[in-house]
Structure 1
Amino acid sequence: MVSVFTRRIIAYVMDFFVVSAFVWIIAYLLSLIVRPGDYYSVYQSMLIISPILTLVYFILCEKFFGASVGKSLMYLEVKSRNGYDINWAQAIVRNLTKIYWFPILFDWLIGKILKKDRILNEITRTVVIKEI
């Protein structure tokens, strides 16, 4: 049986592909509008679009559906520790480190050193559980 931690890693990789697809679509549409044929500006805009879209994706998915696409495919769900769905503040704070890949590693590593879950899960009092 696969652990929740392994499922979370697989879900994060899946979500990376989902967000990447959205980023490429938006970047392509922007390139058609802003400067057709200037692909360098598209790559520059991706540095701005990607973290914003990643943050918006995780916040909206977890607030409205309780899970991102990757978490849903891995049968995981984000809940508040009291058993209720997460609120806006919890959704925003717990996903701050997902803007880029390296902050989430520090979030996880500090949590492991302190013998806890991710630090932002501890701060927001949220937990990732297997769906029933």
Structure 2
Amino acid sequence: QVNEEVDALVSFGISPMQFLVVPRVVALVLMMPLLCACADFVGILGGMVVAVAISDVSVVQYFNQVEAAVSLNDLLSGIFKSAVFGSIIAVAGCYRGLNCGRDATAVGQAATSAVVTSITWIVIADAIFAVSFHLLGI
């Protein structure tokens, strides 16, 4: 908005929603689950390194315990939630960015507002997921 980029897109007949918003939402919805899966993998491997190094646990024992403690539902629900959280982040960022003022200070305020909005809606969505998953027995 500061350099009137959105106005320029509109003057060329390009929809800001399709050119700016949709790619960001799609990117976050697709990449957040991949990031979540990578974090799950690294977390399990990191736990193995610590368990083997500090405790008297073998690698086989560790993975047997992980298999007993972590279900496929746990992993899939986390990946699903990360896709929803990605959409929340993208929508909040795009909404605040497209509605910010035209000076540099407004851009900083819009970025801060987008972060606060994202965190707030993620906490609300996670609470809804927690209650829903509990009621469904997941």
- Give the structure-2-normalised TM-score: 0.37
Relative contact order, higher structure (CA 8 A, sep 6+):
2
Q: TM-score scaled to structure 1, two decimals? A: 0.39
Normalized per residue, the structure richer in strand is 1
